[in-house]
Structure 1
Amino acid sequence: MKNIVKKENAVSRQFLGVDFVVLSIGKDSMVTKMLYKATDNVPFHKHPNEQSGYVISGKYNLKFGGEEFALSEGDTYSIPANIEHSIEIIEAGEVVDVFTPIREDYL
């Protein structure tokens, strides 16, 4: 199975007021690029998907598991499925997120 998405064909979406693009969808995983604005707010939430990310640009405070993590360019993270988490945008930027399984609410 091949799933190639050229950047001009990436599907733009919005969730909780945050703009993002769906980059590709495989059998069991999904890749997205979050386009965080300084005014975005992602409150505590959880989903049945493991979420791993790579910070391309910007600065963020990620909270989960009773801890807070300062993230910036080049940092990565993994959030287990069904764990409450939130992200505070300190400086606008972009983050690539991979979800397993696919987030149906992002389609």
Structure 2
Amino acid sequence: MKNIVKKENATRRRFSGVDFVVLSIGKDTMVTKMLYKLTDFVPFHKHPNEQSGYVISGKYKLKFGGKEYDLKEGDTYSIPADIKHSIEIIEAGEVVDVFSPIRQDYLL
């Protein structure tokens, strides 16, 4: 567990071509900051983790449950576990994501 993580000690990672930073990790949750570039695209996928997010900056098109959602600064979302979803980057920016349980594949 990494309950307190100072900015300078955050762990930078890359997963499926997307850069992100692993922030705090608790017993059941993980906080990450996604660093989306205009050239990034996250195709439809699913994982056993519930995912909730807060858009710090940028513009995105989130798709899940047969619907599309335009997201911008200040917007939030929650995607249930095991639901196929994708995100298209319209404008580069940053998004804070919280996963429960912890995404083990983000720790590698």
SS at match of 1:4: coil
TM-aligned CA deviation for residue 2 of structure 1: 7.2
Who is 1:88 aligned against?
88
Who is 1:28 aligned against?
28
**1:10-65 Cα distance to aligned partner (Å, 9 max, x none):** 00000110000001100000000000000001000000000000000000000000
**1:58-90 Cα distance to aligned partner (Å, 9 max, x none):** 000000000000000000000000000000000
Who is 1:8 aligned against?
8
Who is 2:65 aligned against?
65
Counterpart-to-counterpart distance in 2, 1:92 and 1:2: 28
Q: TM-score, normalised by structure 1?
A: 0.98
CA RMSD of aligned residues (A): 1.0
Count of paired positions: 107
Who is 1:98 aligned against?
98
Percentage of matched positions with identical amino acids: 85
Query: What amino acid maps onto 1:41 in structure 2?
Result: F
Matches within 5 A, 1:40-55: 40-55=40-55
Runs of 4+ in 1 over 2 A off after TM superposition: none
SS at match of 1:102: coil
Provide structure 1 residue ranges, at least 5 long, that are not aligned to the other structure.
none
Counterpart-to-counterpart distance in 1, 2:43 and 2:106: 17
